[in-house]
Structure 1
Amino acid sequence: MTDAQPKFTVVGLDLSLTASGIAYRDGSTSTVKTKQKDGDLRLGQIEEAVLIAVGDGEDLGTAVDLVVMEDIPQNSHAAKPIAMVHGVVRNLLNKLGIPYALVTPATLKTYATGKGSGDKVPMAIAAYKRAGREFEDDNQCDAWWLRHAGLDWLGCPEFSVPAAQREALKKAEWPEVKR
């Protein structure tokens, strides 16, 4: 890991209706847990948490340059509720003028571990080996890796990964990021 401050600020989001992982611009993480009994009000809770993570865009000195989100899983029973969360968050980011990238779960796993399939344990092990980080849950771990994928793509990684793993990032669609 380098001591230099990144040239860009990136937030990572692992979105879910029940437990969304957030990796903040400073590298800290949290999980936004919602209750099923709150119904669609959970969407507002997640939107508010994302707004706090990215700021309201008024202070340009602390503006987030990029948000990296895990893409909606294909052929999953969770796709419909995750798509609802994505709609709310993407709308918020568009209103704030913050570009975002979508990274598939397989691409993220390949970037983090070198293998695009498997459970969440290798992701946590890779985070510990690369940066000494441990997480309360896999949502935070995924969000942390999403943030680092964005920093790496923008040319300011906080640690190195093998070139073959970095190549996986080319599979994602990255927006133009201006500074």
Structure 2
Amino acid sequence: MALSEFDRALIEATQAGLPLVARPYEALGALLGVAGERVRERLAEMQAEGLIRRIGAVPHHYRLGWTANGMSVWDVDDAQVDALGERVGALAGVSHCYRRPRRLPLWPYNLFAMLHGRSRAEVEREARAVAELLGPACRGHDILYSSAVLKKTGLRLQAGARGAVLSGS
């Protein structure tokens, strides 16, 4: 699907985040020469069309004091992993949860859940709650703690030799 000139300008204006002001759509509208309501409408349309996935806040866990972040990995019975993964993903201490293929014999884990805490003890308490929820369907787990904060970005429009291209990390 080809992007209109307005779509491209709107994406470029929002790809680093919405302005941190009381009325961000109006601020973007002023930048783009349209009403703030048009910005809100077009973003909603782009979301409905699948051009953008979501609009939401992305907290910086470390700045909020959540410095003991750990990716918990779980070896869960394949017949139950989808249903149990839904329940794990709904836990308050889990920011994201997803299924991944095992890489046997070295990597038996098929369920991943990111846990956050102010200390490793908090993360380990969260992991115990996950283990309790998984019950006998879980054959093993581990916690892989973050050792560095990496810059994460969504897709970005970039001007290239052959027009705009998407990139991301």
TM-score bracket for the superposition, by shorter chain length? under 0.3
- TM-score, scaled relative to structure 2: 0.26
- Structure with bigger strand share is 2
- Structure with bigger helix share is 1
When Rg is computed on C-alpha atoms for both structures, the one with the higher figure is 2
Bigger relative contact order, structure 1 or 2, given CA contacts below 8 A and separation 6+? Answer: 1
